[in-house]
Amino acid sequence: MKKTLWLIVPAAGQGRRMGADKPKQYLMLGEHPILVHTLARLYEAFPKASLVLCLDSDDQWFQAEWVPFAAWQRVTGGIERMDSVLNALHAIPAQDDDIVMVHDVARPCITTDDLHALYQAVTHHTGGALLAMPVADTMKRANAEQQSTCTEPREGLWHALTPQGFHYGLLRQALESARHQKRMVTDEASAVEALGRQPQLVSGRRDNLKVTHPDDLALAAAILSAQSDTFTQEA
């Protein structure tokens, strides 16, 4: 039986660090909201995948026509990211060996090549995989007053990106275990690591930006423009 690919996009956050009048996924990036760009990139790579979109129950901005996928559903997001993803996992009729990829809605610059590379890694590694990039900067440890107390060696350190992908059964077990233990996790890989598994790190592009602060919008727009120019030249 062919495995189903499920794409989960948590989009219930409020994005308070943006200081905007709406959640950041609805801020305009060029002619379209961030969410539209992100879904378009996912669809370009996996048009036959099933999408699960986690939205706040009081969301006033979402428009269903923005979703390009034929197979998709909306689920209610939770207070934390982990809650939203678990709600999605509980809502889908997935098999344990189906592949689930979770992607930040605020990462609209993800490329098809990186998405395909991650998918291939997940199919070959039982512990799952995540896009990441090696740390290139000098890392500092700060105290409570934000004073530098020491320099941390960066060898072996990676920045975790998304998507992160796992087989359905493993991811559900990992997140349910974290909830049972009342252990908050900031990404899916950390929940899987807590089970003793070792997700594969897949080196991703450094322009896979997460829009978090106001000045990230201009940077994301520049990245999308540069990517479009590059892809046009290659074609």
> Given a cut of 50, is residue 1 above it in pLDDT?
no
How far, in whole angstroms, is CA 169 from its chain's centroid? 19
User: What pLDDT is stored for residue 166 in this prediction?
Assistant: 98
CB 121 within 8 A of CB 204: no
What's the CATH fold of domain 5-234?
Spore Coat Polysaccharide Biosynthesis Protein SpsA; Chain A (3.90.550)
Render pLDDT for 133-170 as a digit per residue (tens, 0 to 9): 999 999 999 999 999 999 988 899 999 999 999 999 99
3-state secondary structure of 4: coil
User: What pLDDT is stored for residue 39 in this prediction?
Assistant: 98
- Which candidate, 184, 219, 220, 201, places its Cα nearest to that of 109? 220
63 phi and psi angles, rounded to 5 deg: -125, 125
What are the residues facing 150 on neighbouring strands?
141
**Distance, CA of 53 to CA of 22 (rounded, Å):** 18
**Amino acid letter for position 80:** E
User: What pLDDT is stored for residue 90 in this prediction?
Assistant: 97
What is the separation, in whole angstroms, between the first and last Cα of the chain? Answer: 35
pLDDT confidence band for 13 (50 / 70 / 90): confident
CB 75 within 8 A of CB 51: no
Give the helix ranges, DSSP H, for 11-80.
Answer: 34-45
CB 8 within 8 A of CB 14: no
User: What pLDDT is stored for residue 232 in this prediction?
Assistant: 55
User: What pLDDT is stored for residue 184 in this prediction?
Assistant: 87
Render pLDDT for 47-103 as a digit per residue (tens, 0 to 9): 999 999 999 999 999 999 999 999 999 999 998 999 999 999 999 999 999 999 999
State the pTM of this model. Answer: 0.93
Render pLDDT for 102-126 as a digit per residue (tens, 0 to 9): 999 999 999 999 999 999 999 999 9
Question: What is the residue extent of each domain of the chain?
Answer: 5-234
